[in-house]
Chain A
């Protein structure tokens, strides 16, 4: 177990001083910062009427911002940057001559990226709370200090957003392994984002099969897309988990069997 933790920790050492580390902080802080700026400049529009809670509107615009392509692109960029550390350092050839199984190297990398992805939400929550409370201090009329956000909704949305993005996560992990560069996965993500907007504008029910739409569908369910539930998950979240399973398996086989340094 100690060896496993020690080996896993090497992935976090590699992120030190790299842009991937800053992407985590910036990614978690950007949306709360942006929403803070929007509310600051138009704060009078957000003054609650009787019985209203400003946190509700604050939550809504924050999550819509997070879900509309932002989280997908953040994941894509994280994937590219973290895997590019090895590609750029020509480090695979060294790692493959160590007495460490390829399956272990795969596991360390995959787990690290999952932890980093989960950390996006872990950091987003405090940043978001701080920005909301700061607004409450700067504009007491918003009553954000005397009211509270819906913490359950916050945690629940974080969890479902995480699940809804796992499909894109696995697809881009595989792409970063397969193509060993940043251009193709990022280019693919941009095209996929454009396709999502087109499908969304066309109110296409096929969005339920399209992994780049899942985060948005989780935060903002649409009438024209199936909203069936299976247990605690919406149908598109189940599809996200299926994409995750299929592409994780594909990247595992690709890495262990065919990947050349």
Chain B
């Protein structure tokens, strides 16, 4: 695991715990999406992971080392972007990079490399105050990439970006992960975008981790929740037929039948069955069960 927390708790006072028994497991080489509604504890968790908030010792491990005792060696392998990027707006993009490059004692030509990676080399001389939100976000990521980190920790990296900006950042992160093997831990509340990017997921609500697993686990969960809405000329007959043939449970609200199905082939078989039995299908719809609805389902259950 590249990040591991063990029963991590945190609160600014004794009576109000913001993080409760958090056990995050981020495998090396993964893109881990850390999801949750606003105020769930995402940024607090990231601040704890980066030592900006003090946790009880030996609860946070990065690169299998306890954070408190190994901050300098751990930080030398991390690039981070916390909430909005920390940028000196009166300086150029290049100068912003040079500040971090010199403090981290990185070779000077790395500045030009990261400017190219994030496609800001043509705007490197402009003052950051003249940058768009997307350019600032990319510059923040460029700063995080300067040290060629093994782990990127990004807090809401696509926040405030337009659709083009989101696609650019998504492609960049996937490229970094696939080509350089960089592990990425990113938080977001933009669920549809996260779905296209991550290999692993953690969902936090009210300071507690309520789901954690791979995207395959998610696919399984999605499968369990996938269902069809069907309208026929005889819903009662159709219900009995489907239940007897497939052993599936249906709900019937009078207008529509709702059937939870296992795989795509079952949809075709189900249609054939109804048509063969002389039942007319007026409407058939695959109900959406993407990450967003799964996320909402999980939150509701929590």
Contact = CB atoms under 8 A, between A and B. Distances in A.
Contacts of B91: 13-14, 16-17
B103 interface: yes
B89 A6 contact: no
A154 to B, nearest CB: 35
Contacts of B238: none
Contacts of B102: 6-7, 9-10
A85 B86 contact: no
B233 interface: no
Interface centre among B72, B89, B99 (most CB of A within 10 A): B99
Contacts of B50: 96-97
Contacts of B105: 3, 6-7
Given A17-B90, A99-B76, A261-B52, A93 B82 contact: yes
Interface in A83-111: 85, 89-101
A97 B88 CA distance: 16
Contacts of B177: none
A95 B87 contact: no
Contact of A90 (B71, B73, B86): B86
Contacts of A89: 86-89
Contacts of A6: 102, 105
A97 B78 contact: yes
Nearest to A93: B82
Contacts of A17: 90-91, 127
Contacts of A18: 90
B80 A85 contact: no
Interface centre among A17, A90, A92, A97 (most CB of B within 10 A): A97
Interface string A10-38: 10011011100000000000000000000
A16 B80 CA distance: 25
Nearest to A17: B90
Interface string B18-55: 00000000000000000000000000000000111000
B169 interface: no
Contact of A99 (B99, B104, B143): B104
Interface centre among B51, B80, B82, B88 (most CB of A within 10 A): B88
Contact of B86 (A3, A9, A13, A91): A91
Nearest to A20: B90
B186 to A, nearest CB: 15
Contacts of A97: 50-52, 75, 78, 80, 82
A92 to B, nearest CB: 8
Nearest to A90: B86
Contacts of B73: 99
Contacts of A94: 80, 82, 85-86, 100, 143
A13 B127 contact: no
Given A3-B105, A6-B102, A16-B91, A99 B82 contact: no
B98 A10 contact: yes
User: Which size class do A's interface residues fall under?
Assistant: 20 to 34
Nearest to B76: A99
A224 B124 CA distance: 60
A13 B95 contact: yes
A16 B95 contact: yes
Contact of A95 (B51, B83, B103): B103
Nearest to B84: A90
Contact of B99 (A13, A90, A92): A13
Contact of A93 (B52, B98, B99, B127): B52
A48 to B, nearest CB: 47
A10 B97 CA distance: 10
Contacts of B83: 90
B86 to A, nearest CB: 4
Given A13-B95, A16-B95, A93-B52, A100 B103 contact: yes
Nearest to B53: A260
A97 B52 CA distance: 8
A108 to B, nearest CB: 8
Contact of B103 (A90, A92, A98): A98
Given A99-B72, A261-B52, 12 more contacts: A7-B103, A7-B105, A10-B103, A13-B91, A17-B127, A85-B90, A89-B88, A90-B84, A92-B86, A99-B75, A99-B76, A100-B103
9 contacts: A6-B102, A9-B102, A10-B102, A16-B95, A85-B90, A89-B87, A91-B88, A93-B52, A99-B71
In order of increasing CB-CB distance, the 3 nearest A-B pairs are A94-B86, A99-B76, A99-B75
